[in-house]
Chain A
Amino acid sequence: MPTRQPVSFGTGEPWNAGLWVVVPAFNEASVIGDVVRSVRDRCPNVVVVDDGSDDTTEAEALAAGAAVVRHVINLGQGAALQTGIEYALRRGAACIATFDADGQHHADDLVRMVAALRSQDVDVVLGSRFLGRSENMPPGRRLMLHAAVVLTRLTAGVKLTDAHNGLRVMTAATARRLRIVQDQMAHASELVSQIGRLGLRVAEVPVTVSYTRYSIHKGQRLTNSVRILTDLVVGWLLR
């Protein structure tokens, strides 16, 4: 059992000082409470962006102690992330993490990612399941993610091992410069290409991604990648 004591990095303040964790959620009532509680064990500032859920996601998140921002209609994960990031900035966040609502991520990984952000002097830290571990990843999912890595390396010119991990930590200054306009799932590629364009300093930290039947069901299917590519082309045309 990992320690619940705040870890300090020698600066005198707790490791999570000024950290806000953004959790985009759409119809995640059955898991969101546990996810929020697990994150709040490490960091008190959690904002759940309820992306127009029609279940009790909002109530569960509030009961677990998160701040909740609610989209009145469903927009997509990219839009929810941007809303959550803007909320965190308004609350005076010094650094901002993004964290999936489906229970795939582990709050302990946040500690090491924030440590990397502070110690390696980078703008953004991305979690990598391929440097770290993934539990019960379906082979199709693995293939799709590897294809995405190759694609982002070619289009964004950023060398990553895992381009589509929902676990990220960035400084507030970085969060202000990034702007997600891809409302749906193309936001992950969009973020990487913005990182490339802005010349941001990136570090990857190994993290564990646990696949459950629930998270696989909620996750991306191969057919969605066609949609993502279309969105990226349209986004490029509108730029």
Chain B
Amino acid sequence: MIIQFFLTGLLLGVALLVAAQNATPRLMRAGILAVLAAGAFFVWAPETTNAIAHVLGVGRGADLILYLWVVITLALMLLLYLKLTRMARRITQLTRAIALMQASAPDADR
């Protein structure tokens, strides 16, 4: 019982944080909130994960959650890596602009 209240509180906290992210696209926010709501549902009705797992051919609901967790984590890591690369490219453009700005003007050097 204690763990269920704890997890629900945690999910609620995350939901509030997500809802407040104005910069994130509305559709994305709605999607994340739906996943969080599903999570809260499974916290209070864990047997349903077993039923879904059986339909998909997985032995236990807990295993299904684990597999999904791994897949989602890997996808998030890839997205983060792409985002980092994009950011690095912007830093490159900035650094290049500074370098070219500070270069001695044509005909002024030598």
Contact = CB atoms under 8 A, between A and B. Distances in A.
A235 B92 CA distance: 15
Contacts of A71: 95-96, 99
A234 interface: yes
Interface residues of B, number: 19
A69 interface: yes
A113 interface: no
A65 B104 CA distance: 13
Dominant secondary structure of chain B at its interface with chain A: helix
Contacts of B86: 238
Interface string A72-93: 1101000100110011001110
A52 to B, nearest CB: 8
A42 to B, nearest CB: 17
Contacts of B91: 73, 75
A49 interface: yes
Interface string B69-107: 000000000000110011011011001101110111010
B89 A183 contact: yes
A72 B95 contact: yes
A181 interface: yes
Interface in A32-65: 49, 65
Given A234-B81, A238-B86, A79 B96 contact: yes
B81 A183 contact: no
Interface in A207-239: 234-235, 237-238
23 contacts: A67-B104, A67-B110, A68-B103, A69-B100, A70-B102, A71-B95, A71-B99, A72-B95, A72-B98, A75-B91, A79-B92, A79-B95, A83-B96, A83-B99, A86-B96, A86-B100, A87-B103, A181-B92, A183-B89, A183-B92, A234-B81, A238-B82, A238-B85
